[in-house]
Amino acid sequence: MRYRLPEAVRCTRLSFHQASQSNKSSILLLAVALFVWGSTAQAQNALRPKADGSIAGKVSSQGGNRVPGQIAVTLRSHEAGVTRSVLTDADGHFEVRGLPPSQYEISIEEAGYEPFRSTAQLDGDSLNLDLHLIATVSPQNQANAAMVSVRELRIPSKAQNEFRKGLECLGKSDLPGSLNHFTKAAESFPGYYEAVYHQGVVETNLGQLEKAMQAFQKSVEMSAGRYARAVLGMGYVLYLEGKAVEAEPILRRGLEVDPNAPDGYVMLGMTLLRLNRPDEAEKSAREALLRNPNQANAYLVLADSFARRQNYLEQIQGLDSYLKLDPNGPASKRVLEVRAVALKLLSRIQAQK
């Protein structure tokens, strides 16, 4: 039986659809994406020649206190056109290899801590960083952190190693290999709902939506509904299945569990667009950007919401913001094509005035 949600209710792949209506031209740019939070070494761009540098480090809280593992660290270089994300291990360590020399923006978005922003210059072969997060002080956050720490201590090293290998395979787009490791991790520790969630991520990328939903549902049940990523995963699968009406309340429930998940607001915005509610989709995209100004996909939702209202000038501005953040990403070529069409439509409207 499925876990019942409350009544209140690149690894990354992108696809785009262009639509036209009778007697008028319009363009719809719809981003369909599964946001794999914390996929180790997730390569969004092909590595360039001589990109053999590495950035490693440790994430801890202010004062050197230990923080929960599986925190996503994002490195971005606009100059090199590189965006990489990596998940910290149980001790807070991370490493990203295959980086070209450049200046990198470093960002961390983690519930219970203030957003982290910094820059680092990679000139040589390697760079080691010590990153400190500032906790959002509240008794609930302190209690949650303590519970997470106790649970992490219970996870056997075999399960953690299999989970880490699964993330590494996922970052290399080795889906069968990653699924094998996540399955072994879940078998080694029956309560490993993060591993089960990542099984769902892989199944989604393999197009096995029924199996993906089962994995996300199981992760939700194992975590008693407290693991927001799994709840959002359920909503995303429903979205992919064309069940936007069912997806909306589940995505909203996921955001109730973790109101600081920018990816969740992007998914909700995509769903609202499918429900032909562009004003609400725009609001959701802006909520994502409030939590992470570098959330490139939020600008695709904004662009779509503007296109729905035939506001081509703001649509172009949204597309330009996306290209500025991810100039060489997998969606960039299509975004440029859409931008060219939107520019023609805008010119036509201006000429008629």
DSSP string computed for 294-346: T-HHHHHHHHHHHHHTT-HHHHHHHHHHHHHH-TTSTTHHHHHHHHHHHHHHH
Which has the closest alpha carbon to 228: 264, 200, 202, 196? 264
State pLDDT tens for residues 158-210: 998 999 888 888 877 889 999 999 999 999 998 899 999 999 999 999 999 99
State the Cα–Cα distance between residues 275 and 245, nearest whole angstrom.
7
pLDDT of residue 272: 96
pLDDT of residue 136: 74
pLDDT of residue 47: 33
- Which among 255, 272, 290 is the end of a domain? 255
Same domain flag for 264 and 351: yes
Same domain flag for 310 and 215: no
SS3 351: helix
Asked whether residue 341 carries a pLDDT value surpassing 50, the answer given is: yes
pLDDT of residue 97: 85
Same domain flag for 42 and 136: yes
Do residues 278 and 305 touch, judged by C-beta distance below 8 A?
yes
Same domain flag for 302 and 345: yes
pLDDT of residue 150: 62
State the pLDDT confidence band at 151, using cuts at 50, 70 and 90: low
CA 214: distance to chain centroid?
21
State pLDDT tens for residues 226-283: 889 999 999 999 999 999 999 999 999 999 998 888 889 999 999 999 999 999 999 9
State pLDDT tens for residues 84-122: 878 888 778 888 888 888 889 898 887 778 888 888 888
State the Cα–Cα distance between residues 157 and 142, nearest whole angstrom.
25
Do residues 24 and 309 touch, judged by C-beta distance below 8 A?
no
pLDDT of residue 71: 83
pLDDT of residue 39: 37
Backbone angles phi, psi at 266, to 5 degrees: -65, -45
Same domain flag for 285 and 351: yes
Q: When comparing pLDDT for 136 and 318, which is higher?
A: 318
pLDDT of residue 23: 29
Range of the domain at 129: 38-142
State pLDDT tens for residues 133-148: 887 755 444 545 444 5
Same domain flag for 248 and 159: yes
Helix axes 332-352, 312-325, angle to 10 degrees: 160
CATH number of the domain encompassing residue 45:
2.60.40.10
Q: Total domain count for the chain?
A: 3
- Which among 200, 232, 255 is the end of a domain? 255
Vertex 197 angle, CA 207 and 262, to 5°: 90
Which has the closest alpha carbon to 29: 318, 277, 345, 283? 318
Backbone angles phi, psi at 305, to 5 degrees: -65, -35
State the Cα–Cα distance between residues 14 and 334, nearest whole angstrom.
10
pLDDT of residue 321: 92
Q: When comparing pLDDT for 151 and 189, which is higher?
A: 189
pLDDT of residue 149: 53
State the Cα–Cα distance between residues 44 and 349, nearest whole angstrom.
36
- Which among 255, 281, 311 is the end of a domain? 255
Q: Tokens standing for 7?
A: 């009544």
Asked whether residue 11 carries a pLDDT value surpassing 50, the answer given is: no
State pLDDT tens for residues 27-42: 344 433 333 333 333 3
Q: In one letter, which amino acid is 275?
A: L
State the Cα–Cα distance between residues 45 and 326, nearest whole angstrom.
9
* Dihedral sign of CA atoms 226, 232, 233, 237 in order: positive
pLDDT above 90 covers a percentage of the chain that reads 39
Same domain flag for 128 and 76: yes
Inter-CA distances, 24 with 21, 142, 310, 349, Å: 6, 56, 10, 11
Strand partners, 24: 21
